[in-house]
Amino acid sequence: MQASASEDAPPNAPVPPESGAADARLRAVVGLAQAMAAAPEGRAAAQVAAGRAREIMGAEFAAISMWERERGRLRVLVNDGLLAPGEEALPQDESYPLAEYPEIGQFLAQRGLGELFAPDGLPRAWVQSADGGSANGPDCRARAASLRRRGRACCLVAPILLGGRAWGELYLARTAGRPVFDDAEAAFATVLAAQLSAGLAQNERLEEVSRLAFTDPLTGLANRRAVDARLDAALERHRVDGTVVSLVVCDVNGLKRVNDEKGHESGDQLLEQFANQLSLCGAMLPGALAGRLGGDEFCLVAAGPSADEVVRVAEELCAQALTIDQGEGVACGVASTGDPIGPVTTSDRLFRLADAAQYRAKSGPAAHPVVAGRGSLPDPTLSLADSGARPGGGRRTERRRFRGARLTADPGQLLAAVTAALDDSPGPAGTFARLETVAETVSRMLDAVAWWVSYLPPGSTTMHTAGYGVRRMTRGPGSVRAQVQRAVNEAPDAVFDLQSYPLTALAIRGGSFGLRTGVPGNDPAEEAVLVVGGYRAMVAAGGANAAGGWLMELFADDATLSFAAVGPTLRALVAVALSGPASPP
């Protein structure tokens, strides 16, 4: 093995692990991080990482695999280098039973971690040879057999952790005639796997933020942002080749009554039930997009099907909505370029027409939609859309009444508001200041009662309160709540042992959870926090940066918007806040 690395070293020349090659090792790690950061999405990042790791370690083959707990299998994401017969660079479904790999079982079961972790806390990489020997880790017959079957002499396996949990592995192999990986190379592979883990975690956070920006968290349908993008693309096709573009806008009737009489959870159930009907009906139109615009307003965007096909689906949707127990049907409006509605060059025009049709449907029977361009002449729907007036007086000043809503749980609007607030912050801010901005902004938009941000120092199991904000008193036991406030004011560094709060312990490692009082199966310690504070519900999300672990909690009373689907959004927003410069509170 060479004692130093040069810029002209061949791609398969390993980076020497000796002390004299520290600069080369550092360049290799930095290069891996930069290459992964430039990848457009998760699988591409894994593909780049496998190639770089193979070159750095002087291996002929590399793979990155993910441990699928729900399937009990090790699934290969990418293969790189000298492929054996049957191997593909980007396999569709190459996977192996976890039962064949006892060392993985140890990680997943959280047993035997001492021997599998290095003193610095990183999961220890190990070497397996084709003859069945393993000098620095568990001997695995399945891996040895696989090496022989594929004509390889040895492999090096470096576990990958995400959020403190076993996620997968970096696998490197050399062919016959090459030297077996030694302990120093295994130690360096451990460092590469840690960097790979950081890159994958960042990519996952970005993908989650992107997904949240285009998905309604309550119903799983597309949100307003996604609808706008799809409609703009469809109208571009219409301008180019005359493709018929149709928009169906629906307003769920009776939602306010259900919220007032039965509570917001029942109202959310009504919205979810209608969303299911909308999705099923939308599937009748090839390529249609079902979306929730906000509040009780939904839509379908279709490009290609005729106006008659869309109207038939809208009729079916109205009929199905009447079968939902708690609801009162929907007011449904349709606007299609396949009908005589005049030229449509912008999405605003099509929305005005569909909106006007939907408002007219509000005063008619819920069993039928109103279709722009199919009324008596002059068509009252076209007149209403062109005048900009609302039924009952007033003029429309916005395309839709939900744009810029003061209170909303829509992830796209929450994300936009939080990033704008972070951008408006004067000068560089520490971790707690960024989390405080997130907590204040989200609490305002959800009308939350209070927020708390807590901090876990590195290596500790004791969480400290870093700061909190109380926006109003709850309707619960006020005297008890006041005592809690005074105690925190007198001792801001309130302490919590995470061993007593299992959900919190998981969330602070990068997860989220929600809790509502009175639900069977609630963790007693977590629910006690709600009861003492007079809260009805909470949502928490956390994560870690170089300064330590962080947890954000939002608390609700009956006036707060539902937290039912806020967890993933809050987790992504916390990740955004933690991505800046790290500093303890």
Most confident range (mean pLDDT) of 85-89, 263-267, 501-505 is 85-89
Where among 387, 420, 449 does a domain terminate? 387
Clarify whether residues 351 and 470 are in a common domain: no
Asked if the structure places residue 585 within a domain, the reply is: no
Distance of CA 457 to the CA centre of its chain: 26
Percent helix / strand / coil, the chain, rounded to 5:
40, 20, 35
Q: What is the mean pLDDT of residues 534-547?
A: 89
Q: What is the mean pLDDT of residues 352-370?
A: 83
Residue 198 has pLDDT above 90, yes or no: no
Asked if the structure places residue 401 within a domain, the reply is: no
Per-residue pLDDT at 99: 67
Q: What is the mean pLDDT of residues 244-270?
A: 89
Q: What is the mean pLDDT of residues 34-49?
A: 79
Clarify whether residues 379 and 476 are in a common domain: no
Residue 194 has pLDDT above 60, yes or no: yes
Tokens read off for 163: 């959020």
Per-residue pLDDT at 402: 31
Q: Where residue 12 falls among pLDDT bands split at 50, 70, 90?
A: very low
Q: Pick the more confident residue, 478 or 107.
A: 107
Instruction: Please give the Cα distance from 75 to 57 (Å, whole number).
Output: 23
Per-residue pLDDT at 152: 93
Asked if the structure places residue 51 within a domain, the reply is: yes
Clarify whether residues 242 and 330 are in a common domain: yes
| % residues pLDDT > 90 (the chain) | 25
Clarify whether residues 290 and 168 are in a common domain: no
Q: Please provide residue 26's backbone torsions phi and psi, each rounded to the nearest 5 degrees.
A: -65, -45
**Pairing of β 537-545 and β 95-97:** unpaired
Asked if the structure places residue 203 within a domain, the reply is: yes
Number of domains the chain contains = 3
CATH number of the domain encompassing residue 124:
3.30.450.40
Clarify whether residues 247 and 322 are in a common domain: yes
Start-end of H helices in 21-112: 22-37, 42-57, 102-108
Clarify whether residues 204 and 240 are in a common domain: no
Q: Which stretch of 12-16, 156-160, 377-381, 581-585 has the lowest confidence by average pLDDT? A: 12-16
Instruction: Please give the Cα distance from 8 to 17 (Å, whole number).
Output: 18
Per-residue pLDDT at 2: 32
Q: Where residue 367 falls among pLDDT bands split at 50, 70, 90?
A: confident
Instruction: Please give the Cα distance from 395 to 355 (Å, whole number).
Output: 13
Where among 147, 181, 211 does a domain terminate? 211
Q: Which residues contact 491 (CB under 8 A, 6 or more apart)?
A: none
Start-end of H helices in 159-282: 183-213, 224-241, 255-262, 264-282
Instruction: Please give the Cα distance from 290 to 22 (Å, whole number).
Output: 55
Task: Name the DSSP class of 562.
Answer: P
Residue 423 parent element (H or E): helix 411-424
Per the DSSP assignment, residues forming a β-bridge with 300 are 248, 290
Torsion of CA 112, 115, 119, 122, to 10 degrees: -70
Q: Edge to edge, what strands does the sheet with 152-162 contain?
A: 95-97, 73-81, 61-68, 165-175, 152-162, 126-129
Asked if the structure places residue 244 within a domain, the reply is: yes
CATH number of the domain encompassing residue 377:
3.30.70.270
Its domain, for residue 233, covers 224-387
Instruction: Please give the Cα distance from 168 to 384 (Å, whole number).
Output: 58
Instruction: Please give the Cα distance from 201 to 129 (Å, whole number).
Output: 31
Record the pTM: 0.49
Per-residue pLDDT at 205: 66
- Residue 116, helix vs strand vs coil: helix
Per the DSSP assignment, residues forming a β-bridge with 453 are 467, 552
Clarify whether residues 98 and 203 are in a common domain: yes
Task: Name the DSSP class of 490.
Answer: H
Clarify whether residues 239 and 200 are in a common domain: no
Clarify whether residues 563 and 432 are in a common domain: yes
Residue 564 has pLDDT above 60, yes or no: yes
Q: Please provide residue 324's backbone torsions phi and psi, each rounded to the nearest 5 degrees.
A: -75, 125
Cβ atoms of 540 and 516 within 8 Å: the answer is no
Asked if the structure places residue 540 within a domain, the reply is: yes
Clarify whether residues 230 and 375 are in a common domain: yes
Clarify whether residues 162 and 311 are in a common domain: no
Q: Which stretch of 209-213, 457-461, 485-489 has the lowest confidence by average pLDDT? A: 485-489
Cβ atoms of 334 and 248 within 8 Å: the answer is yes
Q: What is the pLDDT of residues 106-164, one digit of tens each?
A: 554 443 334 444 444 557 788 888 887 665 555 577 788 889 999 999 999 988 887 66
Clarify whether residues 498 and 364 are in a common domain: no
Asked if the structure places residue 396 within a domain, the reply is: no
Asked if the structure places residue 397 within a domain, the reply is: no
Where among 159, 181, 211 does a domain terminate? 211
Residue 397 has pLDDT above 50, yes or no: no
